[in-house]
Amino acid sequence: MKVWIKLLIGSVLGMVIGFLLPNTESVIAALQWLEKFAIGIGRYAVIPVLVFSLTIAVYELRMDEQFWSTVLKNILLIIVASVFVIFSGIFVTSIFSPGRIPIETIEQIEVLGIDVTANIYDIFPSNMLSVLTGSGSYLFPICVFAFFLGLGLNYDRNYSKPIISHIDSLSRIFYHIASFFTEILGFIIIVLTAFWAVRFNSVLQAKVFKDLILLLGIFSVTLCFVIFPLLLYFLKPRINPWRVLYGLLGPAFTAFFSGDINFSIPVLIRHTKENFGIRRRSSAISLALFSTFCRCGSAMVAAAAFIVIIKSYSWIATANLLLIGLHAFVISFLLARHPGEGAYIALIALCLTYGGGDEYRAGFLLLKPLAFYLIAIGTFIDIMVNAFGTYVIARLNGFIEEKNLVHYI
């Protein structure tokens, strides 16, 4: 059975179970524990497969003198995609403005935001091997470690040849281990979807956020299932963009219901290889850069939610929309430490840094019941941008071997 069908069946079963379960404290506590356990299973193989695949990718691209050109193309595409997604989301939110959220008396509390200094410090710890023993949430230091290890392999092939062979073997071994876990995600996603459905059912009954839910849902589906595939028509030679979209259904399911980038990366790695035939040297670089720096989906959702918060208190000028977009653009590059809660962390950062009265600084608390939905939409767009970006870079560089549709997983 194809992976996306397993995930679809698991998602449907989870939704049914979730809508039937009562929204009690004991049920929520049990589902929270199961969700944490399920996310851990999905993340289990992400570090080794990323480290060894990225190391070999850096080595091979350096040997072919294509490393920096590939990195530059990825960075340019990340910037273009981030600007397009964030500002198109702000434009749609300003045109089709959701209804105001009822204002409640809320008290500012101490919150965790984006700790930029910690993000920088952790890139170069005093022991470089310590990045391999972390929790697996912050992947950028691991990518930097793999980059330097890949550079080291180019030093003298007389010494590095045996190590290259071992790292290449480890890369393939851990890829197959990660593939095993993608095969069982159809069962794991039942838990994630059930917990998602319980919370969604509670939000629907409140009838407070229905406009924002519809706006973000319709916009994300239109963006990822219509606009992005249509943009692929600009690639030469011509391709069928709907085949590409079909090949990304698996990562789309896992991203939306898990709300976790790192949970979805192994699924995306497998789909880019087995559905599209993208070579490891290209996919490893693109996936690492996009998952670290291209969180435009989460930033766009945060910007849209923040606009709704401001309009719930007062009106907002056009110039302020541009300012919110610029803030969101910067924040999108700083979310690497938050793979599972990016959109809500970005919303907190917007509330705390934008300025205005105290009500804006605590405005994110108004949307706390909807945080899971904001995270789901943001992660879904992040993964789809990552997937389409990886495909585009591979096509531009010729690192792709088209697969027959019947062989898609």
Taken in order of first residue, the domains within the chain and their CATH numbers are 3-407 (1.10.3860.10)
Virtual CA dihedral for 33, 38, 39, 44, nearest 10 degrees? 130
Percent helix, strand and coil across the chain, each rounded to 5?
Answer: 75, 0, 20
Banded pLDDT at 103 (limits 50, 70, 90): low
CA 300 to chain centre: 13
Task: For residue range 238-284, list pLDDT tens digits in order.
Answer: 888 888 999 999 999 999 999 999 999 999 999 999 999 999 999 99
Rg, Å, the chain Cα set: 21
Q: What percent of the chain has pLDDT over 90?
A: 61
The pLDDT of residue 341 is above 60: yes
Task: For residue range 11-23, list pLDDT tens digits in order.
Answer: 999 999 999 998 8
DSSP structure class, residue 400: B
Strand partners, 400: 278
Q: Which two tokens stand for residue 249?
A: 């259904």
More confidently predicted of 235 and 293: 293
The pLDDT of residue 181 is above 70: yes
Task: For residue range 360-375, list pLDDT tens digits in order.
Answer: 677 788 888 999 999 9
The pLDDT of residue 318 is above 90: no
DSSP 150-180: HHHHTS-HHHHHHHHHHHHHHHHHHHHHHHH
Give mean pLDDT, residues 176-201: 93
SS3 300: helix
Which candidate, 316, 323, 319, 298, places its Cα nearest to that of 383? 298
- Check if the beta carbon of residue 321 is closer than 8 Å to that of residue 93: no
Strand partners, 79: none
Task: For residue range 12-56, list pLDDT tens digits in order.
Answer: 999 999 999 988 889 999 999 999 999 999 999 899 999 999 999
- Check if the beta carbon of residue 332 is closer than 8 Å to that of residue 130: no
Strand partners, 278: 400
How far is residue 154's CA from residue 164's CA, in Å, rounded to a whole number?
10
More confidently predicted of 228 and 154: 228
How far is residue 151's CA from residue 149's CA, in Å, rounded to a whole number?
5
Treating both helix axes as pointing N-terminal to C-terminal, what angle do 157-183 and 185-206 enclose, rounded to 10 degrees? 60
How far is residue 38's CA from residue 69's CA, in Å, rounded to a whole number?
38
The pLDDT of residue 120 is above 60: yes
Average pLDDT along the chain: 89
> What local confidence, expressed as pLDDT, does residue 358 receive?
57
Beta-carbon contacts of residue 81 (< 8 Å; ≥ 6 apart): 294, 296, 385, 389
Q: What percent of the chain has pLDDT over 70?
A: 96
Q: Which of 96-100, 274-278, 309-313, 401-405 is the most confident on average?
A: 274-278
> What local confidence, expressed as pLDDT, does residue 126 receive?
83
How far is residue 150's CA from residue 318's CA, in Å, rounded to a whole number?
47
Q: Which two tokens stand for residue 125?
A: 């710890």
- Check if the beta carbon of residue 351 is closer than 8 Å to that of residue 361: yes
> What local confidence, expressed as pLDDT, does residue 319 receive?
83
Q: Which two tokens stand for residue 240?
A: 């069928």
C-alpha distance from residue 193 to each of 160, 187, 294 (Å): 46, 10, 25
What sign does the CA torsion over 84, 138, 286, 377 have? Answer: negative
- Check if the beta carbon of residue 254 is closer than 8 Å to that of residue 267: yes
The pLDDT of residue 106 is above 70: no
Banded pLDDT at 355 (limits 50, 70, 90): low
Give mean pLDDT, residues 317-334: 90
Q: Which two tokens stand for residue 52?
A: 């060894």
The pLDDT of residue 289 is above 60: yes
The pLDDT of residue 136 is above 90: no
Burial bucket for residue 176 (CB in 10 Å: 0-12, 13-18, 19+):
exposed
Other Cβ atoms less than 10 A from the Cβ of 68: the count is 10
